């Protein structure tokens, strides 16, 4: 079974077993939704992701965080617990700029929709070694500042929805994902990385850019 297939099967089982988990609005010091380095899709790929999230809204029901264009992203690395004042933003930005320097755009194929205990996502498969190289270079440039997230990410995705209320129709969510398990969204070419912080909007989150870095010379 492929890595995506294993993830899909585990997520399906968790949802049908009533094991969903729920996000809450970020609070000072919480480990979720702190400052992060992300890559944001754009163009036709972003439009398709927004469309998919919109299709999913009536399936998951009310109270959940259905993401729009200001929240859809691939996380490169989480950097710290949630804080309204990100005091190290320039340190993070300098490390990101160093890591991006000289690299070509990151290319990922977005294909396959899966539910899991915390929401619904689109699987992202790197087209080459650029994303892994960026990940290693960013970790090196961060040094001790990167200790908050000490593991190495080995799966990549774009979240369409985070559950933020009881999941009352898990079978419908699983069925919707099964119909799209092999859906091709497109190849995202990600030429810019950002340091962002999350802002709770009342009905979800949006990501505010603090620093940015472009690939290339």
**Placement of tokens 């995705």 in the chain:** 157
- Model confidence at 147, pLDDT cuts 50, 70, 90, reads confident
- Tens of pLDDT, residue by residue over 86-103, are 999 999 999 999 999 999
- Tens of pLDDT, residue by residue over 127-138, are 999 999 999 999
Please give the full DSSP string across the chain, using - where no structure is assigned: --HHHHHHHHHHHHHHTT---------TT-SSS--EEEE---HHHHHHHHHHHHHHHHHH-TTSEE--TTT--EEEEE-SS--SS-TTHHHHHHHHHHHHBTPPPEEEEEEEEEEETTEEEEEEEESSSHHHHHHHHHHHHHGGGGGGS-S----EEEEEEE--S--S-HHHHHHHHHHTTT-EEEEEEE-EEEEEEEEE-SSSEEEEEEEEEESB-
- Residue 110 region, left (φ>0) first, then alpha (ψ -120 to 50), else beta? beta
**Placement of tokens 């539910």 in the chain:** 115
Q: What is the mean pLDDT of residues 105-126?
A: 98
Separation between Cα atoms, residue 41 and residue 67, nearest integer Å: 13
Closest CA relative to residue 50, chosen from 157, 126, 159, 201: 159
Whether 1 shows a pLDDT value over 70: the answer reads no
Under 8 Å CB-to-CB from 201, ≥6 apart: which residues? Answer: none
Whether 150 shows a pLDDT value over 90: the answer reads no
- Tens of pLDDT, residue by residue over 58-87, are 999 999 999 999 999 999 999 999 999 999
- Tens of pLDDT, residue by residue over 180-199, are 999 999 999 999 999 999 99
Whether 144 shows a pLDDT value over 90: the answer reads no
- Model confidence at 172, pLDDT cuts 50, 70, 90, reads very high
pTM above 0.85, yes or no: yes
User: Would you give the distance in Å from CA 34 to the centre of its chain?
Assistant: 13
The better pLDDT of the pair 2, 39 is held by: 39
- Model confidence at 30, pLDDT cuts 50, 70, 90, reads very high
Give the relative orientation of helices 43-60 and 170-179 as an angle to the nearest 10 degrees: 150
| Mean pLDDT (the chain, rounded) | 96
Identify the pLDDT of residue 97.
97
Under 8 Å CB-to-CB from 46, ≥6 apart: which residues? Answer: 40, 69, 72
Whether 217 shows a pLDDT value over 80: the answer reads no
- How would CATH label the architecture of 3-214? Alpha-Beta Complex (3.90)
């Amino acid at each position: 079974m492929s890595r995506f297939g294993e993830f899909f099967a585990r997520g399906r089982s968790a949802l049908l077993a009533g094991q969903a988990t729920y996000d809450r609005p970020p609070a000072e010091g919480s480990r979720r939704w702190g400052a992060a380095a992300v890559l944001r899709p754009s163009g036709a790929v972003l439009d398709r992701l927004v469309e998919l999230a919109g299709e999913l809204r009536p399936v998951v029901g009310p109270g959940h965080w259905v993401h729009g264009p200001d929240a859809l992203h691939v996380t490169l690395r989480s950097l710290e617990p949630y804080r309204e004042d990100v005091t190290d933003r320039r340190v993070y930005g300098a490390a990101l700029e160093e890591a991006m320097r000289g690299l070509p755009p990151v290319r990922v194929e977005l294909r396959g929709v899966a539910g899991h205990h915390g929401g619904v996502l689109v699987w992202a498969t790197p087209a080459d070694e650029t994303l892994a190289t960026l990940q290693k270079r960013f970790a090196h440039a961060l040094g001790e500042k990167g200790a908050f997230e000490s593991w190495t990410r080995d799966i990549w995705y774009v979240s369409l929805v985070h559950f933020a209320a009881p999941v009352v129709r898990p079978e419908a969510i699983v069925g919707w994902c099964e119909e799209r398990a092999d859906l091709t969204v497109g190849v995202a070419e990600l030429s810019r990385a950002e340091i962002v912080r999350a802002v709770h909007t009342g009905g979800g989150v949006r990501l505010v850019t603090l620093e940015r870095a472009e690939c290339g010379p």
